[in-house]
Structure 1
Amino acid sequence: MTTISAYAAKSEDGKMAPHEIKRRALGEHDVQIDIQFCGVCHSDLHAVNNDWGNSNYPLVPGHEMIGEVSAVGDKVSNFKVGDTVGVGCMVDSCQTCEACDDHLEQHCLNGATMTYNSKLKDAADDEEDITQGGYSKQVVVNDKFVLKVPKNLDKAAAAPLLCAGITTYSPLHQHGVKEGMTVGVIGLGGLGHMGIKFASAMGAHVVMITTSKEKAEDAKKLGADDVLVTKNEDSMKKWQGKFDFLLNTIPVGHDVNPYLSLLKYNSTMCFVGAIEPLEAVNGATMIGGRKSLAGSLIGGIKETQEMLDFCGEHNVISEIEKIDMKDINDAFERMKSNDVRYRFVIDMQSL
C-alpha cells in the first residue's frame, strides 16, 4: 500500500483541493504507472458536482491517463518498466460474461469497474473501496486494462484519446465509415473535434454540422471538407438525404428530427453525447427511410488499443491546452462556458 498525492473534490460544491489517497500494493498481474498527463473530461465535472447523484467523496476524477510504467507484477509479460502506456475509463470487469468475451468490457453484465467513483468488488481491508482516478501521481492497474501508446504520439495530446478518442472512433469504426461515404459530425467540442479527425483519416467526406457559422474555420482546419450551419434553411435543404452516417456529439437533450432528415435511406445517426432523455422522435421519418438511431459507449479494451494504433499510423491526436494541477478549478469554470479548444490536459508533474 502506497500513499500518494492527488487532487480531490470533498463535497458537492465540486471544488478541487490537494488530497492524499492510497494505492494498492503491486499484484502479480498489475502494472504500476507514474502518471505524466491526464485529460480533463466533461464527465469529471459532472462527477465532482454529483450531477448524476452517485458521487462518493472524497472523489479523485480523471480517466484519460498517460504515463510511464514504473513496476510490473511477476506474471506481467506484455509491459516493462519504461513503457509509455495509457489507462482509460475502465480498470476491471468480470472477464467471464458474454460481453467481456465479446471484448465489450464497458458493457460487462456483472458491472465494469470504472476508473474512478466505482465500488471495488474485492478491496483489501486496508484499501480504499472506491476507485480514484488520474488526478494523482500514480496508479496501479490490472495489465488487461493497460494500453500501449504509440511512440510517435505526443503524450499530452494523446491523453484525451483514452475517452474522447475511443468514444468517437468506436461508432465510426462499428458503422463501417470509409472512403466514399459522406459523414456528418454534429457539434464541435471535445468529442466533435475528434470525430472530424477520425472520419477524415478513415477517408470519408466529412461535414461539420453546427448551429454556429463562427466554427467553420476551425472545422476546416481540423479536417472537415464542408460545414453545414443548421440555422440556414437553404443549407439544410441542400444536404437533405445526403449523409451515410451521422455522429451526434451534442451533450444535452435536443430535437433530433431535423438531423434525421439529413440521413440517406437505410442510414444511421449515433449518439455519444446526450446521456439524458431526448425530445420526441417522428417515427414516420425513420420508417419512411428505414433510418436508425443508435448509441455508443466508449469501447472495449481491444478496440481502444486498435484506436491508439490507428492514431499512431495516421498521427491523430487531440487539440489541447495544457494546465497545471492547481488551475483545475478555473478549467472547470471555463468548461462550463465552452471556453476550451478542445480539451484540457493536466501536466501531472505540476502536482
Structure 2
Amino acid sequence: MAGPTNEYSAKGYAATSPDSGMAPFSFNRRGLRPNDVLIDITHCGICHSDLHTARNDWGRTIYPAVPGHEIVGTVSAVGDEANLHKIGDRVAIGCMVDACMECDHCEAGLEQYCKNGMTGTYNGKDRQDESITFGGYSDRIVCREDFVLKVPEALSSDMAAPLLCAGITTYSPLRQWNIGEGSKVAVAGLGGLGHMGVKLAAAMGAHVTVLSRSEDKRADAKALGAQDFLITTDKDAMRSAAGRFDMVLNTIPVRHDVAPYLHLLKIDGVQVIVGMIDKMPELHSGILLGRKILTGSGIGGLAETQEMLDFCARHGIVPEIETIRMDTINEAYDRMEASDVKYRFVIDMATLG
C-alpha cells in the first residue's frame, strides 16, 4: 500500500498513442472502497479488442490505455463491507467492473446491457470518481466485489483466463437460444472465439459444423469436437446445406457478407454475430422472409458468466492457449493480427517484473 491516499502502486504495460506499441507503465490503483477487493493478477488473456483499443482502431481510446479483460488472480485484500470473497480466493474479472445495478436490465441479470452503461474493465469511466479504468495487463487490480467471479478448482488459472471473454461471448448466445441435444449449429470462423464456440456447442449436445473458406482447418475442427466441415467457397456444398441449421454462430472479426450464412438456416433459425464488425454489406430483405433471424450478442451477465465457468469445469472445456511473457506483447499483437496463434494468447504475469 502506498501513500496517505491509501492507493496501491501498480505496474503494467500501456499504450500511450495509436502507434506507441505497448510499454512498461507505472500507476496507482484506487484504495479499497467498502465493497471492493484487491486482486493480485496471475494471468491475463489477450483479446482482439485489446489490440484495437491500443491502436485506437475504433476511435475512442483514452490514453494511456492498459488493456486486458480476461483476468485471473488471487484476492489479497478486501473492503470493510466486502463478504463475497476472502483473502486467498482464486477469482476472475471479465469485460466489466461495474454497472448501475438498478435498471431493469441489471435486475434481470443483464448487467452487460445496463441502461445506464456498464463500466468496462479498461478504457471505461469509473461510476464514482470518473477516473479511467485500467485493465489486466498489470500486477494488481481493485474491483467492486459483485463483478468478481469465482474460479472453479477444476480450471487452471491460465486456462480460465480466456473464458472471461472468448468463453462467455460464445456461451451466452448458445444458452439464450436453447442449444442442446439435437440442435444443429454451424460455427463460422475458427479463431479465439470460434474454437470455444465449437467446444461449448458440442458439450451442450449439438451437432456442430465448422464453416471455413478452405480445407486448412478441417483437422482442427474435428479435433475440437466438430462433426462436420463445410467449405463456404463450394457453391454446390453450400446449396445442399441450405435450411440445415438452427444457429450459425458467426465469430468472424472482419467485414464480410453474412447473407450466405442466412441461407443455411432453418425457418426460425438464427445467425448470431459475436465478432466485432465495423460494417456489413447490405442485405436484400427477401433473405429474411423465411423467418430467418439476424442478431448480435455481447458478453453475458454476472450470473451467466459464473454459470459458464462452472459448466466448463464440469465438462472439462478449456481453451487452446499459448502462454507468453509480458515483454513479448507487441510480437503477440502482430502474430494475432496475422492469425498466427492457436487459439488464444495468455500472459503469465509472473514475467511482468
TM-score by length of 1: 0.97
Shift in CA distance, 14/180, structure 1 to aligned 2, threshold 3 Å: farther
Choose the corresponding residue for 1:110, options 92, 109, 116: 116
Deviations along 1:231-264, whole A, 9 cap, x unmatched? 1122212211110111001112211111111101
Give distance in 1, aligned partners of 2:345 and 2:251.
Answer: 18
Choose the corresponding residue for 1:236, options 225, 235, 238: 238
Give the 3-state SS of the residue equivalent to 1:308 in structure 2. Answer: helix
Matching residue of 1:263: 265
Give distance in 1, aligned partners of 2:104 and 2:208.
Answer: 35
Give the 3-state SS of the residue equivalent to 1:224 in structure 2. Answer: coil
Give distance in 2, aligned partners of 1:281 and 1:171.
Answer: 22
Tell me how far 1:14 sits from its aligned partner.
Answer: 4.3
Matching residue of 2:280: 278
Written as runs of structure 1 = structure 2, the 5 A alignment for 1:182-201 is 182-201=184-203
Matching residue of 1:327: 328
Unaligned runs of 5+ in 1: none
Written as runs of structure 1 = structure 2, the 5 A alignment for 1:142-161 is 142-161=144-163
Percent identity of equivalent pairs: 55
Tell me how far 1:103 sits from its aligned partner.
Answer: 1.0
Written as runs of structure 1 = structure 2, the 5 A alignment for 1:168-207 is 168-207=170-209
Aligned CA-pair RMSD: 1.0
Give the 3-state SS of the residue equivalent to 2:75 in structure 1. Answer: strand
Give distance in 2, aligned partners of 1:139 and 1:79.
Answer: 15
Farther-moved stretch of structure 1 (277-286 vs 321-330) = 277-286
Are 1:101 and 2:107 an aligned pair? yes
Matching residue of 1:303: 304
Choose the corresponding residue for 2:35, options 19, 29, 37: 29
Give distance in 1, aligned partners of 2:20 and 2:224.
Answer: 32
Tell me how far 1:98 sits from its aligned partner.
Answer: 1.4
Give distance in 2, aligned partners of 1:223 and 1:159.
Answer: 21
Deviations along 1:96-145, whole A, 9 cap, x unmatched? 1111111111111111110001122322xxxx810000000000111110
Give distance in 2, aligned partners of 1:82 and 1:120.
Answer: 26
Tell me how far 1:229 sits from its aligned partner.
Answer: 0.8
Deviations along 1:158-190, whole A, 9 cap, x unmatched? 100000110000000000000101100011100
Matching residue of 1:317: 318
Give distance in 1, aligned partners of 2:216 and 2:254.
Answer: 21
Matching residue of 1:53: 59
Give the 3-state SS of the residue equivalent to 1:31 in structure 2. Answer: strand
Give the 3-state SS of the residue equivalent to 1:195 in structure 2. Answer: helix
The one-letter code matched in structure 1 to 2:304 is E
Give distance in 1, aligned partners of 2:34 and 2:138.
Answer: 23
Matching residue of 1:65: 71
Give the 3-state SS of the residue equivalent to 1:340 in structure 2. Answer: coil
Tell me how far 1:342 sits from its aligned partner.
Answer: 0.4
Q: Contact 2:84/2:146 (CA < 8 Å) preserved in 1?
A: no
The one-letter code matched in structure 1 to 2:52 is H
Shift in CA distance, 200/219, structure 1 to aligned 2, threshold 3 Å: same
Shift in CA distance, 119/217, structure 1 to aligned 2, threshold 3 Å: same
The one-letter code matched in structure 1 to 2:112 is Q
Matching residue of 1:80: 86
Give distance in 2, aligned partners of 1:317 and 1:148.
Answer: 16
Tell me how far 1:31 sits from its aligned partner.
Answer: 1.1
Give distance in 2, aligned partners of 1:46 and 1:200.
Answer: 30
Q: Contact 2:105/2:113 (CA < 8 Å) preserved in 1?
A: yes
Choose the corresponding residue for 1:219, options 218, 221, 241: 221
TM-score by length of 2: 0.96
The one-letter code matched in structure 2 to 1:241 is G
Q: Contact 2:98/2:127 (CA < 8 Å) preserved in 1?
A: no
Are 1:121 and 2:123 an aligned pair? no
Tell me how far 1:282 sits from its aligned partner.
Answer: 2.2
Give the 3-state SS of the residue equivalent to 2:172 in structure 1. Answer: helix
Matching residue of 2:3: none
The aligned length equals 346
Give the 3-state SS of the residue equivalent to 1:198 in structure 2. Answer: helix
The one-letter code matched in structure 2 to 1:301 is L
**Runs (4+) off by over 3 Å:** none
Give distance in 2, aligned partners of 1:256 and 1:9.
Answer: 33
Give distance in 1, aligned partners of 2:150 and 2:62.
Answer: 30
Unaligned runs of 5+ in 2: 1-6
Deviations along 1:21-52, whole A, 9 cap, x unmatched? 11111122111110000000000000000011
Tell me how far 1:155 sits from its aligned partner.
Answer: 1.1
